Amino acid sequence: MQELETFRYDNKIVRDFAFATLLWGVVGMLVGLVIAFQLFIPEINAGIQYITFSRIRPLHTNAVIFAFVGNGIFMGVYYSLQRLCKARMFSDLLSRLHFWGWQLIIVSAAITLPLGATTSKEYAELEWPIDILIAMVWVIFGINMIATIMKRRERHMYVAIWFYIATFFTVTMLHVVNSFEIPVSFLKSYPIFAGVQDALVQWWYGHNAVAFFLTTPYLGLMYYFLPKAAERPVYSYRLSIVHFWALIFIYIWAGPHHLLYTSLPDWAQSLGTTFSLMLIAPSWGGMLNGLLTLRGAWDKVRQDPILKFMVVAVTAYGMSTLEGPLMSVKSINALSHFTDWTIGHVHIGGLGWNGFLTFGILYWLVPRIFKTKLHSLKMANFHFWIGTLGIVFYALGMYWAGLTQGLMWKQFSAEGYMQYPLFLETVLQILPMYLIRAFGGLLYFSGVLVGVYNLVRTVRSGNLVENEEAKAPALLKQNEHEVKNVYGHRWLESRPFQFIVWTVIAVAIGGIVEFVPSFLIKSNVPTIASIKPYTPLELEGRDIYIRDGCNTCHSQMIRPFRSETERYGEYSKAGEFVYDHPFLWGSKRIGPDLHRIGGKYPDAWHYNHMLDPTSTSAGSIMPPYPWLFEQDIDFSTTPSKIRVMQIMGVPYPEDYDKRAVEDLKVQAKQITENLRSANFQVEENKEIIALIAYLQRLGTDIKAKKTAQLAK
C-alpha cells in the first residue's frame, strides 16, 4: 500500500467565482428585465442613449452568458476538478489571475457596450482590445486546468473532465477565428470577412458558443453535481462516454442552421440541418442519463430543492435540444426564424438548463465550503417554484408571440393580397404577450433575489474552509510494457475501435461535403457588377447603425418567400453583401426588414421617424433617437476606415482616403439641402445625415442593374 499524501483543496477560488456568479446573475437578469419592459413601454429609457434597448440588449446577453454562466462554469470546474483529480489547482496565482481577469472583462463589457463600442456580431460584440484580453484570460484558465489534470493523483479521468477539456479547446478556437478583425481605432474594428462569409463565420461561432459554453461545460457539471446531490452513481457511465464523443464530433458542423433561407449556399444550409438533426441522439443521451440517475430516488426529489432544480434543468436541456434540431428543419425555420419563438427557445435553455443547474449547484456547494447548513430550505423551495412558474410564463408568452407574428407575416387574403401589409400591425398584436413575458421574467428574477438572500445568510452562518485538507496516494507510474501488451491489443479488439471508425467517417463526411464544392466552384459568391462600395458618408452612417445596434431589431435579409418579397421587395442575394464588413443580416425582427428600405421613403420621413417613431408610425415601440440630431459625425477616423477597407479588398480608388472626407461633406450637403427644402433645419455635420445616407443606399444597387438592363 502506498503512502498517503496530504494536500489541500482551494475553496477560496470556488467562493470567489460563486459570489461573482450571484452578482452578475442579478445584474444580467435585471438588464434583461429592463429590456423586456422597454418592448412595451419604450419611454422608460428616458431618452438616454446608454440605456436604449438596442444598446443594452447585447449587454444582457453578454452578462448572462459570459458573466453569470461563465463564472458559474468556473465555480463548478474549480470545485469538481480538484476533487476529481485529487489535487489542488496547479497554481494559486493563475487561479487569481483568471478570476480577476475575467471580472475585468465583464466590467469593460459593461462600460463599452452601452457606449456603443460593438462589433455587431451576436455574443461576440466586444471590441478588439477586449477580445485580446478574453483570449489571454481564457488561456490562463486552460493552462491552470490542464496542469492540474497533469498532476492528478487519480489516473482515471472522470467524464466531467472530458467535457471541461473539450470546452477549453473548442472555445479557444471559436473565439480566435471569429475575432479576425482589423482595428480602425482603439474601440473600432472591421472583420476581415464580408457578407455571406462573415455571416457563416459568425454563426459557426454563435452556434458553437451555445454548444461549447452553455452546453458542454454544464454537462460536465451535471455529471459531477447531480450524482453528488442524489448520492448515487450516474445511470450509465458507458453512455456518458459515448454521448460525450458523439456530441463534440457532431456539434461543430451544425452552425449553418442559423442561416436557413438566407443567401448562404444551399448545400451549406442542408449540411447544417442534417447535423442538427443528428444532434438529437447525443443530446438526449445526456438528458436521459441525467434523469435516469434518479431512478429509485425520486422520493428524494420530492424533499430536496437542490434535486428539484437539477431535474427541471436537465428536462429543460432535453426540451431545448429537441426543439433546436426541429427548428433547424427548413420548413419549420421558415416560420420560426426572426420571431420570438427563437427567444423562447433560448430562454428554455438559459433560464431552465443553465440558470436552474447553476442554482442547484450553488445550494449544494456553498453550505459545503462554508461548513454549514443551507439557511432556509423553505426559501430554496420558494425559489424553485416561483422560478419554474417564471419559465412557464416566459415560454408561454414567447411561443404564443412567435407563432402569432410568424403566421401573420405569412398570411394572404382570399384575393391574394397580404392580410397584414403593415408590419406594425403584427407588432401591436403581440404586445400582450410581451407583457406576459416580462411578468414571467419578473417572477424568475424575484426567485433569484430570494436565492441570493438565502445564500448570503448561509454564508454568514458559516466559516469558509479556505484550504480543505484531503489525502490520497500518489499516482503510480504505469508500467509501459503492461500498457502496450494489454491495452494495445484490447483497444483494437474491443468496441471502441468501431466507434473510432464511425467518428472518422462522420468527421470526414462533414469535411468532404463542405470542402469539395468550395474547391470545384471558384467562388460561391456571385459578383454583381452594379454593387459598389459605400461612400464615406454611408460608411459613417453604417457605423452609427452598428453603434446604436439597429441590427438588434431589424434584419437585412429578405428570404425568398412570396410573403417577404411582397412586403419588402426583391429577395436578398449573396452578391449584394460583398462589401459588408461586418454583415448586418440580424437574427430577430422586432421591427421590419430594412434591406430594401433605400429610396422607399423621402429623407424627411427618416428624419421624423428617428426623432419620434410614433410620428410616422402610430403606436410604434421603437424608441426615439434624439442624440443623432445633436452629435457630430466623427470623420477623424474616416480616412483610416477607408484604408482598412482597402486592405480587405474593397475597391476604393487609390489614395481615396485623402479625398474621402471631402466627398463625405459634399454628400452631407446634398442631404441637408434636401431636408431644408422640406423645411427641416439641420446642420450638415450631424449624425442623422450620415444615417439617412446609409438607409437610403440600402439595397438600391441592384435596382441600378435593373434600370441598366431595361435601357439596353
Q: Is the CB of 156 or the CB of 712 nearer to other proteins? A: 156
Q: Which of 372, 503, 565, 614 touches other proteins by CB under 8 A? A: 503
Backbone torsion region of residue 46, taken as left when φ is above 0, otherwise alpha when ψ lies between -120 and 50, otherwise beta? left
3-state secondary structure 566-598: HHHCCCCCHHHHCCCCCCCCCCECCCCCCCCCC
226 lies in the site for other proteins, by CB under 8 A:
no
How large is the C-alpha radius of gyration of the chain?
Answer: 27
**Interface stretch with other proteins, choices 58-66, 220-228, 602-610, 662-670 (CB under 8 A):** 220-228
| Residue list 177-196, contact with other proteins (CB under 8 A) | 177, 193, 196
CA 380 and chain centroid, separation: 29
- DSSP assignment of 210-269: IIIIIIHHHHHHHHHHHHHHHTS--S-HHHHHHHHHHHHHHHTT-GGGGGTTSSS-HHHH
Residues near other proteins (CB under 8 A), total: 64
By CB under 8 A, residue 157 contacts other proteins: yes
Q: Which of 604, 633, 595, 624 is nearest to 692 (CA)?
A: 604
Q: Which stretch binds other proteins (CB under 8 A): 100-108, 142-150, 222-230, 331-339?
A: 222-230
Calculate the alpha carbon distances from 349 to 63, 461, 471 in Å: 16, 33, 38
Give min distance, CB of 270 to other proteins, in A: 14
Q: Could you report how far apart the first and last alpha carbons of the chain are, in Å?
A: 93
Q: Is 153 one of the binding residues for other proteins (CB under 8 A)? A: no
User: Of 488, 560, 619, 653, which lies in the binding site for other proteins, with binding defined by CB under 8 A?
Assistant: 488
The total number of residues written for the chain in this structure: 712
The only residue of 478, 479, 615, 677 in contact with other proteins, by rule CB under 8 A: 478
Nearest approach, Cβ of residue 148 and other proteins (Å)? 16
CB of 282 to other proteins, least distance (A): 13
Cell of 392: 412557464
Neighbour-count burial for 480-503, b at 16+ CB within 10 Å, e otherwise: eeeeeeeeeeeeeeeeeeeeeeee
User: Please, what is the minimum distance in Å from the beta carbon of residue 493 to other proteins?
Assistant: 11
Task: Among 169, 186, 298, 385, indicate the residue that binds other proteins (CB under 8 A).
Answer: 169
- Rounded (10°) CA dihedral 427, 431, 432, 437: 110
Window of 298-306, 314-322, 470-478, 678-686 that interacts with other proteins by CB under 8 A: 470-478
Is 14 a residue that touches other proteins (CB under 8 A)?
A: no
Identify the DSSP state of 535.
Answer: P
The region of 294-302, 351-359, 433-441, 488-496 touching other proteins under the rule CB under 8 A is: 488-496
Among 1, 2, 3, 233, binds other proteins (CB under 8 A): 233
∠ Cα 79 228 466 (to 5°): 30
Closer CB to other proteins, 581 or 589, in the complex: 581
What's the one-letter identity of residue 688? I
Indicate whether 373 belongs to the interface with other proteins (CB under 8 A): no
Among 277, 280, 429, 514, binds other proteins (CB under 8 A): 514
Give yes or no for a contact between 387 and 447, defined as CB atoms under 8 angstroms apart. Answer: yes
In the complex, least distance from residue 551 CB atom to other proteins, rounded to whole angstroms? 19
Nearer to other proteins, 511 or 651 (CB): 511
Nearest alpha carbon to residue 124 among 168, 61, 170: 61
Cell (9 digits) for 466: 479556505
* Binds other proteins by CB under 8 A, chosen from 496, 602, 626, 639: 496
Using the rule CB under 8 A, is 249 a contact of other proteins? yes
Contact residue for other proteins among 200, 209, 314, 693 (CB under 8 A)? 200
Shortest distance in whole angstroms from residue 123 CB to other proteins: 17
For other proteins, the binding residue among 115, 504, 505, 647 (CB under 8 A) is 504
Residue 242 C-beta: closest distance to other proteins, Å: 10
Nearest to 663 by CA among 533, 532, 537, 534: 537
Site string for other proteins, 517-556 (x = CB under 8 A): -x----xxx-------------------------------
Burial zone of 476 (CB within 10 Å; 0-12 exposed, 13-18 middle, 19+ buried): exposed
Is residue 201 a contact residue for other proteins (CB under 8 A)?
yes
Cβ partners under 8 Å of residue 77, min gap 6: 145, 164, 217, 220, 221
CA dihedral 17, 21, 27, 33 (to 10 degrees): 170
Q: Which stretch binds other proteins (CB under 8 A): 42-50, 54-62, 156-164, 564-572?
A: 156-164
Q: Does 18 bind other proteins (CB under 8 A)?
A: no
Residue 304 interacting with other proteins (CB under 8 A): no
Stretch 68-107 residues interacting with other proteins (CB under 8 A): 83-84
Count of C-beta atoms within a 10 Å radius of residue 301? 16
CB-wise, 8 or 676, nearer to other proteins?
Answer: 8
286 makes contact with other proteins (CB under 8 A): no
Nearer to other proteins, 105 or 234 (CB): 234
24 and 433 Cβ atoms separated by less than 8 Å:
no
Q: Work out the burial of residue 132: count CB atoms within 10 Å of its CB; fewer than 13 is exposed, 13-18 middle, 19 or more buried.
A: exposed
- Find the binder of other proteins among 8, 428, 515, 655 (CB under 8 A): 515
Among 490, 676, 705, 706, the residue binding other proteins under the rule CB under 8 A is 490
Binding site for other proteins (CB under 8 A): 83-84, 154, 156-160, 162, 165-166, 169-170, 173, 177, 193, 196-198, 200-201, 204, 224, 227-228, 231-234, 237-238, 241, 245, 248-249, 252-253, 265, 268, 468-472, 478, 483, 486-488, 490-491, 496, 500, 503-504, 507, 510-511, 514-515, 518, 523-525
